[in-house]
């Protein structure tokens, strides 16, 4: 069976890798950019907020749980197959809370996560100061610590997934643009994709092209861009304790430890489209992100800014994120896009969902994906 994936960000790369483990598939991965991971993936920080997420039920939590479980096996698999170290920060995530925060919902979440096999710690001000002396919150504060959540470089992860997929037979083609899908090109023998390299015959198509997915599927998908912005900085000495360098997060601004006294500082910026004309510029937004980070970690004030960047992430309109569903009117086409803030976190679960769907298409006796998270087209807008 021939399967074509359009889009080589972290989600498309994860799908390519999972499909490479299925015998009997001829998988092709296409991306219009000359290198993979140039879109939303390049704007991500790779902060995997799984157990610390306040999602507790339904599809939203089950996707997160499936990703958390798969990451535990996926990372060593990729490191073994590629010979690369992915540099995962396993010192957890510290989610800071202001002095007036209501911790009761967190206590309930802590009990739930414990029953699910995950640990959350609630830190008072004294415990927070002991573990993270670099943090200064006005009038004190507290924190939620998730030791089982982690952070990974989205670029390194994407590259490792593609390298591993290629070594197992996936045909990866970059700098290849696709034209919008045409339902008239679907026949009993498959689907003809029109690309910048000419027509490509395939049996199944997976659309995972971020914001470009809308252009590929006219009138079937609505995505709104939100901005991910980040700085890479260097400080004279590690922030806080040398032996404890977790991700710090406050008011949606993240401080991500790297190596050699370097850190990422970043956030996702979103706003109602009707207010766009009166909003600050990208540079002003980035300055706000920076000032927020300095406000709770004053040691950053003397940091050297090495570089800054931004990118657009796709937020679905009229349906929940991510969009994992068949494309109405197109037999053999699946959307796996619109991951919003959680592309890196949900990439493994999405890949497993797509794998299950592909297997169900090749075996009519199967009724559908074992995970059961793929939306039916009738659910859109609900």
Q: Where are the domains of the chain?
A: 2-85+153-222+318-379, 93-149+224-316
Structure pTM? Answer: 0.93
Closest CA to 144 of 180, 113, 188, 189: 113
For 98-153, how does the pLDDT look when each residue is reduced to its tens digit (9 = 90+)? Answer: 999 999 999 999 999 999 999 999 999 999 999 999 999 988 899 999 999 999 99
Per-residue tokens: 10: 């972290």
Residue-wise pLDDT for 75-102, tens only, equals 999 999 999 999 899 999 999 999 999 9
Give me the DSSP letters along 201-257: EESEEEE--TTHHHHHSTTT--EEEEEEEEEEEE-SS-SS-TT---EEEETTEEEEE
Q: What percent of the chain has pLDDT over 90?
A: 78
C-beta atoms surrounding 287 within 10 Å: 13
In sequence order, what are the beta bridge partners of 248?
Answer: 94, 255
* H/E element, 79: helix 58-82
Binned at pLDDT 50, 70 and 90, residue 379 comes out as very low
Least confident of 242-246, 328-332, 345-349: 328-332
Calculate helix-pair angle for 10-20, 154-167, nearest 10 degrees.
Answer: 30
CATH architecture of the domain 93-149+224-316 equals: 2-Layer Sandwich (3.30)
Convert the pLDDT of each residue in 274-286 to its tens digit.
454 555 566 777 8
Taking the C-alpha atoms of residue 228 and residue 285, their distance in angstroms, rounded to an integer, is: 10
Residue 291 has pLDDT above 50, yes or no: yes
Flag whether pLDDT at 166 surpasses 80.
Answer: yes
Average pLDDT over residues 333-348: 96
Asked whether residue 11 carries a pLDDT value surpassing 70, the answer given is: yes
Label residue 297 by pLDDT band (50, 70, 90).
very high
The architecture that CATH gives domain 2-85+153-222+318-379 is 3-Layer(bba) Sandwich (3.50)
Say how far apart CA 98 and CA 250 lie, in whole Å: 9
């Amino acid at each position: 069976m021939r399967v074509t994936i359009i889009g080589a960000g972290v989600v498309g790369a994860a799908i390519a890798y999972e499909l490479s483990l299925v015998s009997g598939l001829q998988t092709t991965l296409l991306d219009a950019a000359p290198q993979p991971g140039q879109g939303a993936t390049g704007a991500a920080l790779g902060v995997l907020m799984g157990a610390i997420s306040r999602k507790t039920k339904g599809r939203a939590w089950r996707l997160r749980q499936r990703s958390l479980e798969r990451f535990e096996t996926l990372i060593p698999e990729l490191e073994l197959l590629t010979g690369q170290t992915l540099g995962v920060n396993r010192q957890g995530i510290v989610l800071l809370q202001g002095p007036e925060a209501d911790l009761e919902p967190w206590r309930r979440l802590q009990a739930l996560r414990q029953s699910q096999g995950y640990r959350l710690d609630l830190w008072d001000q004294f415990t927070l100061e002991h573990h993270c002396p670099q943090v200064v919150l006005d009038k004190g504060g507290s924190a939620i610590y998730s030791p089982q959540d982690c952070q990974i470089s989205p670029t390194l992860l994407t590259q490792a997934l593609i390298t591993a997929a290629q070594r197992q037979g996936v045909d990866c083609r970059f700098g290849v643009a696709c034209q919008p899908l045409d339902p008239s090109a679907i026949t009993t023998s498959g689907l003809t994709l029109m690309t910048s390299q000419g027509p490509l015959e395939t049996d199944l198509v997976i659309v995972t092209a971020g914001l470009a997915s809308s252009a590929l599927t006219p009138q079937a998908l609505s995505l709104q861009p939100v901005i991910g912005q980040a700085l890479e900085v260097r400080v004279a000495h590690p922030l806080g304790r040398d032996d404890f360098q977790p991700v710090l997060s406050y008011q949606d601004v993240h401080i991500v430890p790297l190596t050699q006294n370097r850190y990422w500082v970043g956030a996702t910026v979103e706003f109602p489209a009707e207010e766009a004309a009166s909003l600050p510029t990208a540079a002003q937004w980035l300055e706000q992100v920076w000032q927020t980070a300095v406000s709770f970690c004053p040691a950053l004030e003397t940091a050297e800014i090495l570089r800054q960047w931004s990118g657009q992430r796709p937020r679905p309109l009229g349906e929940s994120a991510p969009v994992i569903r068949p494309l109405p009117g197109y037999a053999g086409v699946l959307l796996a896009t619109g991951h919003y803030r959680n592309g890196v976190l949900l990439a493994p679960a999405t890949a497993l969902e797509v794998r299950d769907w592909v297997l169900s298409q090749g075996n009519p006796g199967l009724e559908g994906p074992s995970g059961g998270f793929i939306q039916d087209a009738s659910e859109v807008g609900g």
